Structure 1
Amino acid sequence: MIPTNLIKKQQLILLVLIALILITALIGMGLGAASLSYNRLFSVILGQGTFKENFILFSIRLPRLVVTVLAGMALAVSGAILQGMTRNDLADPGIIGINSGAGVAIAVFFLFSPIEVDSFVYLLPLVAFVGAFLTASFIYVFSYRRNTGFQPISLILTGIGFSMALSGVMVVLISSADRQKVDFISRWLSGNIWGTDWPFIMALIPWLIIFIPYTLFKARRLNLLSLDDTVSTGLGVPLGKERLTLLIAAIALAAAAVSVTGGIAFIGLMAPHIARALIGPRHQLLIPIAALAGGWLLMLADTIGRNLAEPDGIPAGIVTALIGAPYFLYLLMRKS
């Protein structure tokens, strides 16, 4: 039974995060190379803008803002799952190789498919999921020990090794591609938000609708998986089955996100930590806060990055890395 005061605290935090998302979105709508006056912003939102204003807001800025929020939510929930099931605060889909697996699959699809990627928007999350799932399967197999079974720390170390290996594969793929395709893959690797149109949002939403509620449904099991294996087994938790299904959910969310945003790391690391610091370790309370925190963090990073330098700005992945890498080192030193 969750105390009433914690539920009220969670609701207050959720309201604050929603307010931060809306404020950041309003600021982001007015910022950019093409001017959109804040005095005219609400009129444009209400459908009273000129053709140019409507195009800037509804075809360029608003889809990008929505994509970053949805992708940030997916990455944050994926990170919360991985941290819970591995009992490791350093777990993140970008760090343990899931994002790299998705990236290699998308690169292969982009380089060797005879069709334009934009024509297969709805296939991209599926392509990314296949690559991420195959990568995670290899990581799971190589981290499994016959005598001791599945060890969370082995998963992390094996994932880091696979992530480095897949980075090498990506370099090989790039070296054999023509200039135009290399430019796209380079932008993807740096986390340059590229799926900035409404079809990409429609491709992303079904994955969130399925797997975020599923994760909330499994929140109590995730609480038990966060305990020692002996305790979890004693409480009747089928460890192998629960870890596998939750791992699939984490892979699906991360793959769907990076298929439209590129290689974004550290959102899945930071957002669950923020949520845990605000509300505690219960996943029923933690996951919704982590989701909104991740959505806000990625939107904020992209809004800052695209307005820092002309003409193309700084990729959101680089901005999140500038914040997340020092935080990762801090966590690493604190655990050692």
Structure 2
Amino acid sequence: MKVDSYILVSHSIAIHESSLKGHRNKMIYSKHNRTNSETEVSMTAFLRWAGSKRQLLPTLTTYWSENFNTYHEPFLGSGSLLFSLSPNKAAGNDLNKDLIQMYEAVRDNPKETYREALDLEVTKEVYYATRGVDPRELDPIKRAARFIYLNRNCFNGIYRTNKSGKFNVPFSGKKTGSLPSYEIFKNASKQLRRTRLTSVDFEEAIINDIHENDFFYLDPPYISRDKRIFSEYGPECFTEDDMKRLIDCTDEINKRGAFFLLSFAECDRTMNNLSRFITKKVETRRVIASSSKKRRIENELLITNIDFDIKKTAGSDL
């Protein structure tokens, strides 16, 4: 850890320790005078995430059935659908190792991780000092807290690294809202204990784990005109070749008697390559652009082999 970064962060925590302690105790430990609605917090994602499908959850959740076996999400990200469905058995994967390590810390130590993240003051100075800390020099709980803090306070919830693999998204200001409640983290921990977490290539996560009647939610990073819309995981992310591999995976899922739902930005090439499956267009608002004037309503494709009418795999005779 860089000495100057450590001093700045530690100094900020020390200055605010008294007020934060009371705030923390109020949020985590106080159970007096709570109504049922305050204690019954629904399962929800706790990260801000560029490309999150949170706004499409009312539609996405209709594709899930309690009769499915394992829920799989090989592009986990914020896990909005996973946490919303709260399946009894799940597998979550993401190429972003820092993300998966954060989920492991929340799974194993939700209270400690939450307290560490809450202790970091939301100021520009503390944000950049925290961003400058080498996460490899932190223990798993502090590393996870750093990830959560930066995610909450960075621009638009984007995860982007430079060529050296260092997170480099700027401070967003105090417009991102406070950290979600501890109850949300505690409930997330419960779901994560029912979820097998991995950080491998999506094809490996899919092909090696297909079982009959499993359900795969496929939400890859967007590509536009053969380039990524934004750099999610560094200089190289999701390319046209990756999309071809993912299409091959959908065929394999279908062939082995499992089910999938693929969500992707509307693209004629994608529609043509997956025309043998059932396709639906839904509207969504893109929020990656820095200017609100550029945040347009666009179409999202939902492609699946789930036939709601006849309840069997679509395209099985292809």
Pick 1 or 2: higher relative contact order, CA cutoff 8 A, min separation 6: 1
Which of the pair is proportionally richer in helix? 1
Which of the pair is proportionally richer in strand? 2
Q: Structure 2 length as normaliser, TM-score?
A: 0.27
Q: Structure 1 length as normaliser, TM-score?
A: 0.26
